[in-house]
Chains A and B, each alone.
Chain A
């Protein structure tokens, strides 16, 4: 059996679970945008708000940290690049291979700001995914795309839904392929191109084969684009939450 990840829907009775998925998607866009415009006091306020919502929805901090660990490593590189490349007053200097490298105060400030913003944006997405049924997210995508001409909104929504459904399967197949190749000594080959080719081709072939099988299974269950979609209904709580989110966004931007 696979593991339950933080990036999957969890049932709950929290306020966030009860909100209309369309509103939640709008909240995500508004808060993310406000977060990208915010500075340290605003980000601090947003962090407190998100921590409160995470506690309310019973989302484990540890499982979130585990889930975003590789993203945190990427952020570390972003932080280092910012700290070293932003001009300003040096706080730390070192000679590396005859070249002077300086970490500036401004670099540390900008690095912190960017990394903090990115972490909060990822957390927002995680809160949306863990509190909203995937079928509702799919239906909302279709709902938002419907007014645009020449976009087959139902097909796009189905594709997004199937992509989400396929990710764990592809990851599990990638691990299986990698284990099978390690068992046959692939690590003795130092050429990364050779290793990548030997890994990617069987993985892609299996993925396409599975996609073919999925199409047949969908046809066997009468797949059609004109199908019953999940009901989306908004209430007073959604509008109250919208007012709250707008106030929070103002506070974050001016903070």
Chain B
């Protein structure tokens, strides 16, 4: 499969001059599952926000399926669906159904198409029975599934998850992990940031470790994970004696 995402010499400096991203080069193949790890402040979220034009590069370029994100951020936002770390502040609608419809409504689709997409997205994340409920009443895991439904309804090809397991209990983590894996199997390209590798490493195709806004390691998860602790990321217990890391779903 070809590259869906190409990042060339990406640099980003914040308004106060602090460097956020410093010379990142990377490509992501269509359908790939990429795990991005790094300690707090390593630049993971800043990198993700360049993928759909929420942040624009100080230097360098981000290209999605051959078209620059800076030139067409609206297309990038439709193509790259982002699930934020804080699900509560991502919810826009007053009901579950309204929230999922928010994206398709912004794409100016007709009402019948919006209804169809909302039903399909809610079914995919198993929230159909909550359609008319206030999102505020959902549990943490359900809120995160709602955020996923919101981007599924926009038919995004690349799905970006920023710390999707934070503040979730064990069943909640398993629910979200199962959801992410089924989306990957359905052909979506997945980029997921975390500083807790154990929960998801077994399923990733590739692991990138970031440090101070740069890519410190990039390669197969089993190889890169051995160096994780050099960059402030905890190495899963099983991988220390060389045992293969199991799935949290088993």
Contacts and interface: CB of A to CB of B under 8 A. Distances in A.
Which 3 pairs between the two chains have the least Cβ-Cβ distance? A134-B94, A213-B89, A222-B106
Which of B54, B91, B94, B139 counts the most chain A CB atoms within 10 A?
B94
Contacts of A1: 137-139
B89 A217 contact: yes
Interface residues on A, range: 35 or more
Which of A1, A134, A162, A227 counts the most chain B CB atoms within 10 A?
A227
A226 B133 CA distance: 26
A104 to B, nearest CB: 46
Interface of B: 49, 52, 54, 74, 77-78, 81-82, 84, 86, 88-95, 98, 101-111, 114, 132-134, 136-139, 150-151, 154
Interface stretch (A110-118, A143-151, A164-172, A245-253): A164-172
Contacts of B78: 222
A51 interface: no
A161 interface: yes
A222 B95 contact: no
Interface string A70-98: 00000000000000000000000000000
Interface of A: 1-4, 8-11, 133-135, 161-162, 164-165, 168-169, 172, 210, 213-214, 216-224, 226-231
B90 A213 contact: yes
Contact of A222 (B77, B91, B111, B137): B77
A1 B150 CA distance: 21
Contacts of A214: 89-90, 92
A173 B154 CA distance: 30
Nearest to B84: A217
A216 B134 CA distance: 21
Which of A3, A165, A216, A221 counts the most chain B CB atoms within 10 A?
A221
A216 B136 CA distance: 19
B103 A221 contact: yes
Contacts of B84: 213, 216-217, 220
12 contacts: A4-B134, A10-B132, A11-B132, A161-B94, A164-B94, A214-B90, A216-B54, A221-B154, A222-B77, A222-B103, A222-B154, A227-B105
B136 A162 contact: no
A173 to B, nearest CB: 10
A142 to B, nearest CB: 13
B82 to A, nearest CB: 5
B137 A165 contact: no
Given A168-B136, A216-B54, A231-B111, A224 B106 contact: yes
Contacts of A162: 92
B88 A210 contact: yes
Given A210-B89, A222-B78, A227-B105, A9 B110 contact: no
A227 B104 CA distance: 9
Which of B105, B109, B110, B154 counts the most chain A CB atoms within 10 A?
B105
A9 B94 contact: yes
Contacts of A216: 49, 54, 84
Contacts of B132: 9-11, 133
Given A133-B98, A135-B98, A216-B54, A221 B92 contact: yes
